Amino acid sequence: MYYPIMLDIRGRKAVVAGGGQVACRKIKALIDAGATVTVISVHGSEQLKKWSETGQIHWLRRAWKRNDAEAAFIVFAATDDREVNKQIAEQTRSSQLVNNIDRYEEGNFVLPAVFHRGRLTLAVSTGGASPLLARRIRDEAAGRLNDQTEDYLEFLFQMRQEIKRKVTRPADKTLCLRNLLDRKYREKQIREQTLHHIDTFIKESLFQ
């Protein structure tokens, strides 16, 4: 059983061993999340070279060394050598987050299939049983979303900030936030009106 969590890794050191296709997918996700990425690989793709040339990663063009993960918050063992990946996991799993792309059980976390749209993140995991099934479920769930989802979530975020600022009692906050889940707020015009009359919305929610 894994503990699900969303990590803020902005500015944190991430180390990726490997420069192939799988490693590059991990690297891109780390860059997008704002991590400080170090890549260790003798060879690399054209994309890896571009990231290095533009300063998005620090690329060490050599084989893995035992102290390469020093001070790293998160580590990916993503080389094409299973024995090297195993060694990396063994060296780091007791004190750092490490993912072994070959054998997930040798690391201490697995990555879910992920879909991003604005503030929404969908993550589906099968606990390592079938990444392909996780992707299929993710795609099916994402397919049920429409173009209004991102705008609706932005509206919910703005309203939540105002409600937290204006309403003191936790139970009242919950009531206001729950009312925002009414389907009528999927309509753009109603969202705009509500944002312009937040105090009215709060009063109606609490004294209806």
Q: Which two tokens stand for residue 97?
A: 């987050």
Q: What is the pLDDT of residue 132?
A: 93
Per the structure block, which two tokens stand in for 149?
Answer: 């989802």
Residue 64's pLDDT is: 97
How far apart CA 19 and CA 191 sit, in angstroms, is 46
H or E element at residue 115 = strand 113-117
Tell me phi and psi for residue 143, to 5 degrees: -65, -20
pLDDT (tens digit, 9 = 90+) per residue, 25-58? 999 999 999 999 999 999 999 999 999 999 999 9
In this prediction, residue 147 carries a pLDDT of 79
Residue 208 has pLDDT above 80, yes or no: no
Q: What is the pLDDT of residues 141-169, one digit of tens each?
A: 999 888 789 999 999 999 999 999 999 99
What percentage of residues in the chain have a pLDDT greater than 90? 89
Q: Tokens 């509500």: give the residue.
A: 194
Please state, in angstroms and rounded to a whole number, the distance separating the CA atoms of residues 59 and 41: 8
CA 48 remoteness from chain centre: 21
Residue 128 pLDDT > 90, yes or no?
A: no
Return mean pLDDT, the chain: 95
Q: How many angstroms separate the CA atoms of 149 and 156, rounded?
A: 11
pLDDT reported for residue 170: 96
Q: Which two tokens stand for residue 41?
A: 């690989």
Q: Say what the pLDDT of residue 127 is.
A: 85
Is 138:124 a contact under the CB 8 Å cutoff?
A: yes
Give me the residue spans of the domains in the chain: 13-111, 112-145, 148-207
Domain 13-111 grouped into CATH 3.40.50.720: yes
pLDDT, greater one: 158 or 118: 158
The angle, 0 to 180 degrees and rounded to 10, between the axes of the packed helices 148-166 and 198-207 is 80
Contact in structure between 38 and 60 (CB atoms under 8 Å): yes
pLDDT, position 1: 80
